[in-house]
């Protein structure tokens, strides 16, 4: 069965300062999303599902519908603040949806096949999509516990020179199965050191050789049931909290700890890059131009 690509694109890009999801980085106006979808099509994916906000749905459809017609099936789902179980009252101070785990959950009714989750503003490289597709086809993914996977990158190659980033720092066992992933929401290079802020406000130094999750995950539809149960408990405790986030790694950690899933970590050799900040765009444009020069991509994608 051909996997589906689930693109998390509902973030408004507060640090970036605009709708970075469709900002051009290629020579003919291509966005990072375009290159992600192109790689997925080459790896045999059959459908792409965009998780977006309804407020910018028209801009997305205008950008993608015509150029993807006949190449891959396209669907859209909306992630909104009020996508919560019936009877839950949300804080009036809440200004954004509930995080990456919630973004995946809103696509439950649109996906009945193995699927890959990615961020809209991250470039993962062609091999990541093929590795996950191969693993989902070859592994016994549905045997209890289900076998999911993710692609890992070295922390030192995933930092921005323009500010802090959020990364899921991973610990694996000898067979490259994930033991834990800790979401570090503030990591940056300071005075030639890689520093993360802890919840108590103190600093912790990282080596840079840690494997990190860049939010590219391979799941089967059984993951939605786990998510739904976890989000139900999360929202009961946090509906009045205007800043609470329901992260994918948090759910994954709990499931691994409870022996409910296995999570294989696949290591990519491709270069990751993203556009967390506006200043990152020039680097992304340069990196795409180099990949075109190497023949990885045609000058004009579509």
Distance (Å, whole) CA 199 – CA 184: 9
Confirm if 127 and 268 have CB atoms less than 8 A apart.
yes
Q: Which of 39-53, 81-95, 148-162, 251-265 has the lowest mean pLDDT?
A: 81-95
300 belongs to a structural domain: no
The predicted pLDDT at position 14 comes to 42
The per-residue pLDDT for range 134-143, each reduced to its tens digit, is: 998 876 666 6
Outline where the chain has alpha helix (H).
Answer: 32-42, 57-68, 100-105, 126-138, 222-238, 248-257, 281-293
The predicted pLDDT at position 55 comes to 84
Distance (Å, whole) CA 93 – CA 284: 35
Distance (Å, whole) CA 288 – CA 301: 12
Q: Would the pLDDT of 271 be above 50?
A: yes
Structure tokens at 12: 């408004």
Domain range for residue 258? 4-293
Structure tokens at 106: 């809103």
The closest of 36, 251, 249, 265 to 153, measured between CA atoms, is 265
41 belongs to a structural domain: yes
Q: Would the pLDDT of 16 be above 60?
A: no
The per-residue pLDDT for range 160-195, each reduced to its tens digit, is: 888 888 888 999 999 999 999 888 888 999 998 999
175 belongs to a structural domain: yes
Residue that wins the pLDDT comparison between 286 and 97: 286
Give the N- to C-terminal CA distance of the chain in Å, as an integer.
Answer: 25
Q: What is the CATH number of the domain that holds 73?
A: 3.90.550.10
Structure tokens at 22: 């469709």
The predicted pLDDT at position 143 comes to 67
User: How many CA within 13 A on the CB side of residue 60?
Assistant: 25
301 belongs to a structural domain: no
The pLDDT of 90-95, averaged and rounded, is 79
The per-residue pLDDT for range 115-136, each reduced to its tens digit, is: 999 999 899 999 999 999 999 8
How many folded domains does the chain comprise? 1
Distance (Å, whole) CA 199 – CA 45: 39
Residue 282 phi/psi, 5-degree rounding, is -60, -40
302 belongs to a structural domain: no
Distance (Å, whole) CA 123 – CA 25: 11
198 belongs to a structural domain: yes
As a whole number of angstroms, the longest Cα–Cα distance in the chain is 55
121 belongs to a structural domain: yes
The predicted pLDDT at position 20 comes to 54
Reported residue count of the chain is 302
Confirm if 215 and 8 have CB atoms less than 8 A apart.
yes
Q: Would the pLDDT of 2 be above 70?
A: yes
CB burial of 129-153 (b: ≥16 within 10 Å; e: otherwise) equals bebbbbbbeebebeeeebbbbbbbb
Confirm if 74 and 48 have CB atoms less than 8 A apart.
yes
86, exposed or middle or buried, with CB in 10 Å at 0-12, 13-18, 19+?
A: exposed
Residue that wins the pLDDT comparison between 88 and 40: 40
268 belongs to a structural domain: yes
């Amino acid at each position: 069965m051909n996997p589906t690509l689930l693109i998390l694109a509902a973030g408004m890009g507060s640090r970036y300062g605009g709708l970075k999801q469709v900002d051009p980085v290629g020579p003919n106006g291509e966005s990072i999303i375009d290159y992600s979808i192109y790689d997925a099509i080459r790896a045999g994916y059959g459908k792409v599902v965009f998780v977006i906000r309804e407020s910018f749905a028209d801009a997305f459809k205008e950008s993608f519908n015509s150029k993807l017609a006949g190449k891959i099936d396209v669907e859209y789902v909306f992630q909104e603040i009020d996508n919560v179980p019936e009877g839950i009252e949300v804080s009036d101070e809440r200004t954004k949806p509930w995080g990456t785990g919630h973004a995946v959950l809103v696509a439950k009714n649109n996906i009945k096949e193995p699927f890959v989750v990615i961020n809209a503003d991250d470039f993962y490289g062609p091999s990541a999509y093929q590795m996950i597709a191969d693993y989902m086809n070859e592994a016994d993914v549905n045997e209890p516990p289900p076998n999911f996977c993710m692609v890992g990158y070295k922390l030192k190659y995933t930092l921005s020179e323009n500010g802090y980033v959020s990364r899921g720092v991973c610990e694996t066992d000898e067979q490259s199965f994930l033991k834990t992933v800790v979401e570090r929401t503030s990591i940056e290079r300071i005075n030639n050191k890689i520093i993360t802020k802890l919840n108590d406000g103190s600093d912790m130094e990282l080596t840079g050789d840690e494997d990190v999750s860049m939010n590219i995950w391979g799941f089967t539809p059984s993951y939605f049931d786990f998510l739904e149960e976890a989000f139900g408990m999360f929202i009961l405790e946090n509906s009045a909290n205007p800043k609470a986030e329901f992260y994918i790694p948090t759910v994954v950690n709990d499931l691994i700890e409870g022996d409910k899933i296995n999570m294989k970590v696949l290591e990519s050799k491709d270069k990751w890059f993203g556009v967390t900040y506006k200043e990152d765009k020039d680097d992304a444009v340069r990196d795409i131009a180099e990949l075109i020069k190497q023949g990885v991509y045609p000058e004009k994608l579509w």
